[in-house]
A = this chain, B = another copy of it.
Amino acid sequence: MANTSTLGRTTLLDRQDGRSQVVAPFDPSSEGVPPRGRGSGTLPGRDAPAGHLHGEVLTRLRDYIVEGELPAGARVPERLLCERLGISRTPLREALKVLAAEGLIDLLPNRGARVRRLDESELIELFDVMGGLEALAGRLACENLTDVDFDAIERLHHEMYGHYLRRDLHGYFACNQAIHQAIVTAARNATLSATYATFAGRVRRARYSANLDADRDRWGEAMREHEEILDALHRRAGAELSDILFRHLRNKYRSAARQTAERVQAKPVHDLT
């Protein structure tokens, strides 16, 4: 699917030390998009397809942050982004306000926006909230699950088990995520789904190395937990499933944290200010 956006798509920053740096000097004629405003004639042809600049910018910035293109802790270069995206500051600033509300950036009064740094304590908090949301999803799913829903999840489960046996980490992850998402969807609560998606975005930024290959014990444990999940789901045991899911997330975090610790021990870094 092609880029249907009005906005330019370029690398923004290169340095990770918090000092923003232009990758290449600004040249509107090369990378940017002709300004839409009053001066030049706004093209009438499918210009802003999805809708309005603000929403597009919002999506784009979210991606930049989640993908790490705007590094954590870095100041968000308002001016530069405007040039890169070929827009004025107004829609950008609107998007920044929303991102701040979502918890992705901090807005310092009169001192601009900074990409929120995800320290360990906040990551714990996020994982716990995710655990709480999944626990809720599990409970609601038990109330609303159709047999068709269950069959689909069961299929995913068995497929995932196959990946587990073959030690196919990639396939395993895909199925794993699909199962969790299916449970949330089966909860049939749009508010929950939206909230879950927001937090999933915030967690995804962490890019913790859930390298199950390096943690065979955890992989087996996770698989066993998923057996329990499927079983509880089958029995429509809401409270039980709720509990399993929360602990599942907790264990997932613990494994990730353990690995992070090991990596830090092996090669100490100063990233965790």
Q: Which residues of A contact B (CB under 8 A)?
A: 51-52, 54, 90, 93-95, 97-98, 100-103, 109-110, 122, 125-126, 128-129, 131-133, 135-136, 139-140, 189-192, 194-195, 239, 242-243, 246
Contact = CB atoms under 8 A, between A and B. Distances in A.
A125 B189 contact: yes
A98 B58 CA distance: 12
Contacts of A133: 132, 136
A129 B97 contact: no
Contacts of A125: 189-192
A238 B139 CA distance: 16
Contacts of A140: 128
Nearest to A202: B191
A128 B136 contact: yes
Contact of A192 (B95, B97, B132): B132
A191 B103 CA distance: 9
Contacts of A195: 129, 195
12 contacts: A95-B97, A101-B102, A122-B191, A125-B192, A129-B191, A132-B132, A133-B136, A135-B135, A135-B242, A136-B246, A139-B246, A242-B243
Given A52-B109, A94-B97, A242-B246, 17 more contacts: A95-B97, A97-B97, A98-B98, A101-B102, A103-B194, A125-B189, A129-B136, A132-B132, A132-B133, A132-B135, A132-B139, A133-B136, A135-B135, A136-B136, A136-B246, A239-B243, A242-B243
A98 B54 CA distance: 12
Contacts of A192: 125, 128-129, 132
Nearest to A139: B246
Cβ-closest 8 pairs across A and B: A132-B136, A125-B191, A98-B101, A239-B243, A94-B97, A125-B189, A101-B101, A51-B109
A177 B2 CA distance: 51
Contacts of A51: 109
Nearest to A131: B136
A126 B52 contact: no
Nearest to A137: B132
B136 A191 contact: no
A103 B52 CA distance: 18
A49 to B, nearest CB: 12
